[in-house]
Chains A and B, each alone.
Chain A
């Protein structure tokens, strides 16, 4: 799904610009960064209610390029700059994590399937 479609589906605000039009294959919704590190394997959009520089760092580690902050949370200027340097697009929606996930799923974006051996 293209970022422009995510934006339209969620009525999302875009916080920064990256040079290419990004596209994602799956969605993952999570506030725990260790979960993201453990389970994300694909080209996902991350929906999260956690807003701090470690969210961007975590996404840099697992090659997530698009982050949506839910419940109208706003990243600081510092976080936005860090994301821009890393080529990561930041968006925000007023929807809750549940509703935002449901809207994207309904629009055809599947969830990352969890494979783990814990």
Chain B
């Protein structure tokens, strides 16, 4: 099963809508509550990043019997130093994003921690595609 969501960076107050919608899909599918929570947290961090660091994009969630894959693709500025971006506490978030309660530099380490597999493909000036996999 495939679920696709558009993420609109022009409406930051809507950020998190895709994660909220996918969370209710997972509940309807009867996925284990602990796994739902991990997926929701990681996907939400990724969705927020697409809004505050890039210009939105598309999220594709694939559910099969053994795993759930969440692919978040944006055509934003890309990440120049991925190791640094993965470091807890590192953030380039704007003042605006900080006022929303983001910018602690915890999103990337959180996604790593809550997923079973995390893969980031990024190119400066082209964009970032983040893939998270969760075992069922």
A interface with B by C-beta (< 8 Å) = 31-35, 37-38, 48, 50, 52-55, 57-58, 60-63, 78, 117-118
Contacts and interface: CB of A to CB of B under 8 A. Distances in A.
Given A34-B45, A61-B20, 10 more contacts: A33-B102, A34-B103, A37-B106, A52-B13, A52-B101, A57-B20, A60-B23, A61-B40, A61-B41, A117-B113
Given A117-B113, A118-B109, A55 B101 contact: yes
Dominant secondary structure at the A interface: helix
A87 B37 CA distance: 17
A38 B110 contact: yes
Contact of A54 (B37, B41, B101): B101
B37 A34 contact: no
Interface string B41-66: 10011001000000000000000000
A62 B41 CA distance: 7
Please classify how large the interface on chain B is, using the bins under 10, 10 to 19, 20 to 34, 35 or more: 20 to 34
B16 A35 contact: no
Interface of B: 13, 15-16, 19-20, 23, 37, 40-41, 44-45, 48, 88, 99-107, 109-110, 113
A52 B96 CA distance: 12
Nearest to A52: B100
B90 to A, nearest CB: 12
Contact of B15 (A48, A50, A57, A118): A57
Contacts of A35: 104, 106
B45 A54 contact: no
A35 B100 CA distance: 13
Given A54-B15, A60-B23, A62-B37, A34 B107 contact: yes
